[in-house]
Amino acid sequence: MQQKIAQVSTADGSIVAYATAGSGRPLVYVSGWLSHLQLGWELPAERAFYESLAQGCQLVRYDRAGCGLSTPSARPPSMAFELEQLAAVANHLGPGPFDLLGTSMGALVAATWAAEHPDTVRRLVLYGGWVSGAEVSPPSAREHVLGLVESHWGLGSEVLTDIFAPDADAVTRREFGRYQRASSAASTARALLAMSYGLDVRDTLGQVRSPTLVVHRDRDRAVPLEQGAALAAGIDGAQFVVLPGRSHLPYAGDSPALVTTVRRFLGLRTPRRSALSLTARQMEVAALISEGRTNREIAARLGIDERSAEGHAERIRLRLGLRSRTQIAVWYATRRNPESPPK
């Protein structure tokens, strides 16, 4: 699956980059705090998450102003500006309602959009959201996180990683600092995070009329479960699903369980892991993993750098829904000789 990147303009001329992948009914994805359309697509765990969502529909993602491929704006972050950017993207989808998925801070944006534009939203999904940013954590903890953003931006702070993605794989954890630098300037990141702590949608939720699913992980380290429950309670008829896990980022931890929950609510088929084929290069890597080769040895054999070899291995693991290189080796051996699975 490939993504196509394009641009739209808001009413004040701000340039917003958006990406589409897959085909079918639109599923608009409002990201959390930060995003980068291209770099996110290159991270194995994040790309696997998006590709799984995009099967059987058209996934539409965008970078908010000042993030990723979108241009910076002189306007300070605000809910009004968030809705203007979402409107610019939605206006290019054509007639008819679309499905809307908001994660983290994006859940508040998506809920507000659904309340103000009820005829545009077919079904609404909110993951990792909250009702009141002031109640997400104590003031001292919020100030501590804002301070870490200022002082550790682009350095891959282990503290920030442990808050947002404690279950992230090795590649994602290592790339966290680079992702920060590429996604936004430290000042923009801090301003967006500060805005998220100031958002409160409790008076808006009662106006949401679209069928709604609220999903939260039970041990989310960034946003307590109680906030997810309050979000669901504020929307008439909303379904509330609690999944096990500690990571706030949707593609960290058990992302297949989240994807399955979302797709079932949207009326889409659950992706069949066995149907997720590997590319020719991934099959080569899987074969070498089955021989017990290290990433360095795989890189030397295939004439690629070691980081690329590690990336291929992670994509294989995620695409097949496996947990280790040993399971990749077993999968490959079984595929080669299905009548005699290895011991």
Stated pTM of the model: 0.81
Location of structure tokens 């994602």: 172
Task: Tokens for 104, please give them.
Answer: 């983290």
DSSP 200: B
Question: Is the CB of residue 236 less than 8 Å from the CB of residue 208?
Answer: yes
C-alpha R_g of the chain: 20
Nearest by Cα to 23 from 38, 3, 7, 6: 3
Contact between residue 312 and residue 325 where contact means Cβ atoms under 8 Å apart: no
Paired with 29 in beta bridges are: 61, 101
Q: Within 10 A of 189 (CB to CB), how many other CB atoms are there?
A: 21
Q: Give me 294's structure tokens.
A: 């290290």
Q: What is the mean pLDDT of the chain?
A: 89
pLDDT for position 24: 94
Mean pLDDT of successive 10-residue segments in the chain (343 residues)? 93 93 96 94 89 96 96 94 97 91 98 97 98 93 89 72 81 77 90 95 97 97 96 98 95 91 94 60 89 92 90 84 81 60 37
**152 sits in which H/E element:** helix 139-152
Residue 213: beta bridge partners? Answer: 125, 239
> For 287-340, what is each residue's pLDDT tens digit?
899 899 999 999 999 999 998 888 888 888 877 777 788 888 877 776 655 444
Residue ranges and CATH numbers for the domains of the chain are: 3-266 (3.40.50.1820), 273-336 (1.10.10.10)
